[in-house]
Chain A
Amino acid sequence: MRFLINKIVLGLSILAALIGLVFLFWILIDLTIKGVGAIDWHIFSNDLVNNGLRNLLIGQFMLALTAVVIGVPIGMIAGIYLQEYSYGSKYAEFIRNLSDVMMSAPSIVIGVFVYAIVVNPVGHANGWAGSIALAIMMIPIVVRTTDDMLGLVPKELREAGIALGAPKYKVIFDIIIKAAKVGITTGILLAFARIAGETAPLLFTSGNSQFFTMNMNQEFPSLTVAIYNLATMPDENLVKIAWAGAFILTVFVLLINLLGRYVIREKK
């Protein structure tokens, strides 16, 4: 009887795993079929106004990259505080938990918040607002990564630096961060992949532009926002563009993830 129950439960578990995997690969296969079918050279050389994706791809990349430039220093320095300067104080523990909670805050709420503090005063959607929203999403991830990765560096290495007469901030930048470099880089890559695929925080911050622009003070082209708009259009051609965009986005995000994993494996 016990053995029967064992077999049944294990069978159910395998079945559940199969169902899950079927769903997940189903999505990928559909996406690939639709996406590959929709990709041609035209979409890479034209902007949305001419039924291309060029401005959207570049725009999305710019938005995410600017978010990295804003979010990574803040997140890293905050992470350094938590690991190197707080000595396990209650306050640091509080910030650490708060940061984790913020990591799971609904992304649309962050979009709404940035709308209120940036878009509303300025009067129109703009690239900076989009990047700020993405940066806010990114900060807690970078904090967590930096905090965890610095924590893995043996404390003897810190002491050895201090024992040579180096100031603490020097030890942190010259030695500790270098020792944790691989982990932190991976974390930042994964965080970048995550925000690069975000839509909700961009809907009313960056908005979307049909045209090619590098001016972050204006409405800025966003691939994800465009996908959202195009996918529900009645025009077959526009839906096709949306699929192409979705496919490219997914490939990009997965490649960065794989790159992150590869970096970990190489350096271990």
Chain B
Amino acid sequence: MKNVMEIKDFYFTYPKAPKPTLKNINLNIEENKITALIGPSGCGKSTLLRSLNRIQDLYPGNKYDGEILLKINDKMENILEYKKENKLIELRQRVGMIFQKPTPFPMSIFDNVAYGLKFAGIKSKSEIEGRVEKALQGAALWSEVKDRLKESALGMSGGQQQRLCIARAIAVEPEVLLFDEPTSALDPISTAAIEELVVELKERVSIAIVTHNMQQASRISDYTAFMYLGDLVEFGETEQIFLNPKEKQTEDYITGRFG
């Protein structure tokens, strides 16, 4: 098995916080697999996910300790050592992210999907068009929107908007995609469509997903990490975590005794 990311002895502290929010996290994200992060609210699962592309650096004063390694050209690089803006930009092109609420930009559907491409250095018009189409197909959206690419993305339904955000993220062909509770704002039908899409996507990218919904984690993920109060309690294959948890806390959470 090959890891695309390796998290080693990772600590995360918010600005001015007396104690770290994440403590001693060790976790691997395997290539072309789906890794789910579960746990009760405030356990730090979103914080961990947001450390993986260092989006949290938008707000200064965070403290990172340990290592987060990302495979770049078959070499592992510690992304926590990145200081320069352009290194962070490169990182985010390799590690894409989908948010809790759909975040369509106030521009046309086409421009939304093409937005990341210019920062990836793609200038040729025909290549951009090709990549946009491919990404929309990849997000199972092409047939719905191919006749209205010039229309504003704000006119789409919530589920469509979320798939648009996925198309936008995969257009730059990242190696890893981070999903931060991507279906929590959607209705059950849209949720099913997104889940199906996530499973399809793992052929092309490695995926980490934070979810509140344990059924979702069990349905789509290959590996599951259970976190509690900033600690990684248990990490293993999804089947094992759900059917045969080793830790008492994991079992209590999964069986619904708290959370």
A162 CA to B55 CA, complexed, in Å: 7
Please state if B106 and A163 are interface contacts (CB–CB under 8 Å). no
A87-B60, A165-B93 are known contacts. Are A178 and B106 too (CB-CB below 8 A)? yes
Minimum C-beta distance from A244 to chain B (A) = 43
- B64 within 8 A of partner (CB): no
- A154 within 8 A of partner (CB): yes
Q: Which residues on the B side are within 8 Å of A165 (C-beta)?
A: 89-90, 92-93, 116, 119-120, 172
Please state if B105 and A167 are interface contacts (CB–CB under 8 Å). no
A158 CA to B101 CA, complexed, in Å: 13
Please state if A175 and B105 are interface contacts (CB–CB under 8 Å). yes
Please state if B168 and A164 are interface contacts (CB–CB under 8 Å). yes
A163 CA to B119 CA, complexed, in Å: 11
- B241 within 8 A of partner (CB): no
Max chain B Cβ within 10 angstroms of own Cβ: one of A156, A158, A164, A181: A164
- A160 within 8 A of partner (CB): yes
Q: Which residues on the B side are within 8 Å of A167 (C-beta)?
A: 85, 89, 119
- B230 within 8 A of partner (CB): no
Chain A 159-200, CB-CB to B under 8 Å as 1, else 0, gives 111111111101000110011010000000000000000000
Please state if B89 and A174 are interface contacts (CB–CB under 8 Å). no
Please state if A178 and B99 are interface contacts (CB–CB under 8 Å). no
Q: From the candidates A159, A168, A174, A181, name the one contacting B105 in the complex (CB within 8 A).
A: A174
Please state if B168 and A178 are interface contacts (CB–CB under 8 Å). no
Please state if A166 and B115 are interface contacts (CB–CB under 8 Å). yes
A174-B105, A178-B106, A179-B106 are known contacts. Are A160 and B119 too (CB-CB below 8 A)? no
A160 CA to B98 CA, complexed, in Å: 7
Minimum C-beta distance from A149 to chain B (A) = 13
Q: From the candidates B96, B99, B101, B106, name the one contacting A181 in the complex (CB within 8 A).
A: B106
- A18 within 8 A of partner (CB): no
Max chain A Cβ within 10 angstroms of own Cβ: one of B60, B115, B169: B115
A165-B92, A165-B172, A166-B119 are known contacts. Are A160 and B165 too (CB-CB below 8 A)? yes
Minimum C-beta distance from A142 to chain B (A) = 20
- A33 within 8 A of partner (CB): no
- A157 within 8 A of partner (CB): yes
Residue of B nearest to A175 (CB): B105
- B53 within 8 A of partner (CB): yes
Residue of A nearest to B100 (CB): A156
A11 CA to B107 CA, complexed, in Å: 52
A160 CA to B167 CA, complexed, in Å: 13
A154 CA to B185 CA, complexed, in Å: 15
A161 CA to B60 CA, complexed, in Å: 17
Q: From the candidates B59, B103, B119, name the one contacting A87 in the complex (CB within 8 A).
A: B59
Please state if B101 and A161 are interface contacts (CB–CB under 8 Å). no
Please state if A159 and B85 are interface contacts (CB–CB under 8 Å). no
Q: Which residues on the B side are within 8 Å of A158 (C-beta)?
A: 58
A181 CA to B106 CA, complexed, in Å: 10
- B207 within 8 A of partner (CB): no
Residue of A nearest to B103 (CB): A160
A157-B105, A175-B106, A178-B105 are known contacts. Are A163 and B59 too (CB-CB below 8 A)? no
Q: Which residues on the A side are within 8 Å of B120 (C-beta)?
A: 165
Residue of B nearest to A170 (CB): B119
- B97 within 8 A of partner (CB): yes
A42 CA to B189 CA, complexed, in Å: 69
A87 CA to B116 CA, complexed, in Å: 25
A165-B116, A178-B107 are known contacts. Are A160 and B99 too (CB-CB below 8 A)? yes
Please state if B105 and A163 are interface contacts (CB–CB under 8 Å). no
Max chain B Cβ within 10 angstroms of own Cβ: one of A154, A159, A168, A170: A159
Q: Which residues on the B side are within 8 Å of A161 (C-beta)?
A: 105, 115
Q: Which residues on the B side are within 8 Å of A168 (C-beta)?
A: 58
A122 CA to B92 CA, complexed, in Å: 54
Residue of A nearest to B93 (CB): A165
Q: Which residues on the B side are within 8 Å of A174 (C-beta)?
A: 105, 107, 115
Question: Can you pick out 22 interface pairs between chain A and chain B where the beta carbons lie within 8 Å of each other?
Answer: A156-B99, A156-B100, A156-B103, A158-B58, A159-B55, A159-B97, A159-B99, A160-B97, A160-B99, A160-B103, A163-B53, A163-B92, A163-B169, A164-B119, A164-B168, A165-B93, A165-B116, A165-B119, A174-B105, A174-B107, A175-B105, A181-B106
Closest 7 CB pairs of A and B: A164-B116, A160-B103, A163-B97, A165-B93, A165-B92, A178-B106, A179-B106
16 further contact pairs, Cβ within 8 A, besides A165-B120, A165-B172, A166-B119: A154-B101, A154-B103, A162-B58, A162-B92, A163-B97, A164-B92, A164-B116, A164-B169, A164-B172, A165-B92, A165-B119, A166-B89, A168-B58, A170-B119, A174-B105, A175-B106
